């Protein structure tokens, strides 16, 4: 879905090759639309969650004119069928009412319920096939985790999403322009992500002076506005 020549795309491909052995699967639309779903067994999910035995959806992405045709519902149905066929406990996904992640209302329409929640707008949605222990987030104290990154700007990232490369570089550039101390931390494995991520999303975050600034892509204008508001 991203441009093949970009650094983010290349890093994503390397990341994918290591995940396929863990059961990661990507299903692309083949009906002329633009979209896909990326799933992995919950015990290998690159989110700060405990979801062993569940099929975890990393991304369900439908873009452009493809939206509104029912493709998202079709891909979700395929996920549910796949999980049942493999004897899994159910299907879960991290939602947010902000950008980058699908909102919870879509999954509620398909019988998903909230299993856990965290600030600012995260909800762990699940559809269980039996009365088993529901998935949950890896911690409740996200603010304490953010404080551990200390002063200055910290970009926390993985290679799970190809667009993280551009997002990270923009933040580091703006921090340099403003004379702010900045560093980038890459989580190389799920264990570290679950233990240290300052949000359930895990795969990307921006922390400023020990406080979460963002967990999604920011334009230069929005980033500057947030830094100004934070007193940078």
- Give the separation between CA 226 and CA 213, rounded to whole angstroms: 7
User: Residue 205 forms beta bridges with which residues?
Assistant: 156
CA distances, 126 to each of 104, 116, 153, 177, 185 (Å): 10, 9, 34, 43, 30
Residues in the chain: 232
Q: What is the DSSP letter of 135?
A: P
Question: Minimal CA–CA distance to 178: which of 130, 128, 116, 225?
Answer: 225
Contact 171, 181 (CB under 8 A): no
The predicted pLDDT at position 213 comes to: 96
**196 contacts 187 by C-beta, under 8 angstroms:** yes
Strand partners, 36: 28, 61
Domains of the chain (ranges; CATH) run: 7-137 (3.40.630.30), 142-229 (3.40.30.10)
Are 60 and 75 contacting, i.e. CB atoms less than 8 angstroms apart?
Answer: yes
Indicate the burial class of 60 (C-beta count within 10 angstroms; 0-12, 13-18, 19 or more): buried
The model's pLDDT over 185-218, given as tens digits with 9 standing for 90+, comes to: 999 999 999 999 999 999 999 999 999 999 998 9
pLDDT per residue as tens, the chain (232 positions): 556 678 988 999 999 999 999 999 999 888 777 889 999 999 999 999 999 999 999 999 887 666 667 788 999 999 999 999 999 999 999 999 876 678 889 999 999 999 999 999 999 999 999 888 899 999 999 999 999 999 999 999 999 988 899 999 999 999 999 999 999 999 999 999 999 999 999 999 999 999 999 999 899 999 999 999 998 8
Rg (CA), the chain: 18
pTM score, whole prediction: 0.92
Nearest to 8 by CA among 186, 180, 224, 228: 186
CA distance 11 to 92: 26
């Amino acid at each position: 879905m991203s441009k093949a020549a970009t650094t983010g795309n290349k890093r994503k491909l390397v990341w994918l090759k290591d995940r396929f052995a863990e059961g990661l699967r990507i299903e692309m639309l083949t009906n002329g639309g633009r979209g896909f779903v990326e799933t992995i067994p919950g015990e290998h999910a690159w989110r700060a969650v405990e979801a062993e035995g569940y099929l975890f959806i990393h991304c369900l992405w439908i873009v452009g004119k493809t939206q509104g045709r029912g493709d998202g519902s079709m891909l979700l149905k395929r996920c549910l069928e796949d999980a049942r066929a493999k004897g899994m406990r159910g299907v879960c996904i991290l939602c947010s009412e902000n950008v980058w992640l699908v909102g919870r209302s879509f999954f509620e329409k398909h019988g998903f319920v909230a299993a856990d929640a965290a600030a600012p707008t995260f909800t762990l949605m699940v559809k269980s096939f039996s009365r088993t222990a529901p998935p949950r987030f890896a911690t409740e104290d996200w603010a304490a985790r953010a404080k551990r990154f200390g002063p200055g700007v910290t970009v926390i990232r993985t290679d799970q999403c190809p667009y993280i490369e551009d997002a990270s570089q923009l933040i580091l550039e703006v921090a340099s322009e403003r004379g702010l101390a900045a560093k980038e931390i890459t989580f190389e494995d799920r264990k570290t992500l679950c233990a240290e991520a300052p949000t359930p999303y895990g795969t990307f975050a921006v922390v400023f002076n020990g406080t979460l600034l963002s967990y999604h892509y920011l334009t230069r204008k929005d980033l500057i506005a947030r830094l100004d508001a934070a007193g940078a």
